[in-house]
Amino acid sequence: MKKAYIPLLVIGTSLIAVGCDQKLPNTAAPAAATSTAAPVVDKADAIASVNGKYIPKSTLANLEKEIAMRGQGQSIPKEKLIEELIQRELLVQDAEKKNLDKTPEVLANVDDAKKSILTQAEVQEFMKNNPVTDAEVKAEYDTKVAGEKAIEYKARHILVKTEAEAKKLLAELDKGADFAKLADKNSLDGKESQNGGDLGWFVASQMVEPFSKAVMALEKGKYTTAPVQTQFGWHIILREDSRPQTPPPLEAVKEQLTPFLQRKKLQTMIENLRKEAKVEILVPLKDEPAKVQEAPAEIAPALPEEAIPEEATTETTQAVEEKAAVIEEKTPAEKPAEKAKKEEKKH
């Protein structure tokens, strides 16, 4: 069974990836965007000639890079790529014969392509001349990661529907009842009701605010003397322990810090350009609501149903994976060491 070949022309020659780490594809459309004459190509540096005009080898190399970035491992034979470039050149030459390159629409699109390419070139040039140094990464790490000095807490909780239920359980705890056993028997929090309400280690920001404030206010080994209400119900919380959070090593976060610092440098450069420039905004920043003139009821024409537009409503939904009712989407990431221990137990 032969593989179906989809012509690359359907991809378009104006696909440009905006990013600091991507090189600019040298495609036919952007080449026309410049006002300067195209560079002279020698026959030795060409892959093909179309009506006496050479297609440079660099164009093929750029197309191969473009396909590699977008093809997700797809391999296309070189002859297909060369044929694609020949087809592009034929279309360009025919368009130029028809003076399509001089139409207002094409000139506007060419100008947009030129601006896009120049924007990328400026970003790449700035990043090349202003690279992020190891010292800058280390300073950012010391300030934002190692310097945070966050506290981790280890706690248990019992979650019930009503305040009355929570107060009843508090009375039992005050009489000496075992917290873990009460959690297993009464807590609505599915996973934690199987292990005595144990929430493991977490930082305060991973919990909903009323819960985290209650945990931080407790002494080690103490439980809340009054029920704590959150959007999930009523909680009784036992703070078992606390410790300084161990920050990840520098090498583990270096790849995340470097692009952040690159963007920070770039943003600073753009802000400085903005300060030095004379900018005047000529349009309203907010769209004004359309004015509707209502006709008198006695002469208002009846519209057919199909003439009445439907109101478009947009709902944003968030899919979250529950660890517990208390920390729906705020479950602490499992530490590598803890994960390794679990794997050993399995084997």
| 68 assigned to some structural domain | yes
98 and 159 share one domain = no
The whole-number pLDDT of residue 308 equals: 34
Tell me the CB-side half-sphere exposure of residue 2, using CA atoms within 13 A. Answer: 3
Q: At what angle do helices 250-276 and 104-129 cross, to 10 degrees?
A: 130
The whole-number pLDDT of residue 261 equals: 96
The whole-number pLDDT of residue 75 equals: 78
Q: Report the alpha-carbon distance of residue 134 to residue 137 in Å, rounded.
A: 5
Q: What is the mean pLDDT of each run of 10 residues along the chain (347 residues)?
A: 40 37 40 55 93 94 87 82 95 97 96 96 96 95 82 95 96 96 89 81 92 96 97 96 90 93 96 96 83 52 39 36 39 43 45
| 70 assigned to some structural domain | yes
The whole-number pLDDT of residue 347 equals: 45
Residue ranges making up the domain that contains 171: 151-244
* C-beta of residue 220 within 8 angstroms of C-beta of residue 240: yes
Strand runs labelled E in the chain: 46-50, 53-56, 151-160, 198-203, 228-230, 233-244
Tokens matching residue 56: 């440079």
Tokens matching residue 220: 């080690």
The whole-number pLDDT of residue 245 equals: 86
**Which residue among 220, 244, 268 closes a domain?**
244
| 233 assigned to some structural domain | yes
Task: Report the number of distinct structural domains present in the chain.
Answer: 2
Q: Report the alpha-carbon distance of residue 192 to residue 4 in Å, rounded.
A: 54
Q: Compute φ and ψ for 47, nearest 5 degrees.
A: -105, -20
The whole-number pLDDT of residue 102 equals: 96
The whole-number pLDDT of residue 327 equals: 38
| 207 assigned to some structural domain | yes
Q: Report the alpha-carbon distance of residue 52 to residue 38 in Å, rounded.
A: 15
Q: Report the alpha-carbon distance of residue 140 to residue 176 in Å, rounded.
A: 49
Strand runs labelled E in 131-210: 151-160, 198-203
The whole-number pLDDT of residue 292 equals: 59
**Helix, strand, coil percentages in the chain from 3-state DSSP, rounded to 5:** 45, 10, 40
CATH of the domain at 231: 3.10.50.40
The whole-number pLDDT of residue 149 equals: 75
Task: Compute CA distances 110 → 14, 27, 66, whole Å.
Answer: 10, 12, 20
Is the alpha carbon torsion for 34, 36, 41, 45 positive or negative? negative
**Which residue among 192, 217, 244 closes a domain?**
244
Number of C-beta neighbours around residue 188 at 10 A: 16
| 282 assigned to some structural domain | no
| 287 assigned to some structural domain | no
The whole-number pLDDT of residue 282 equals: 93
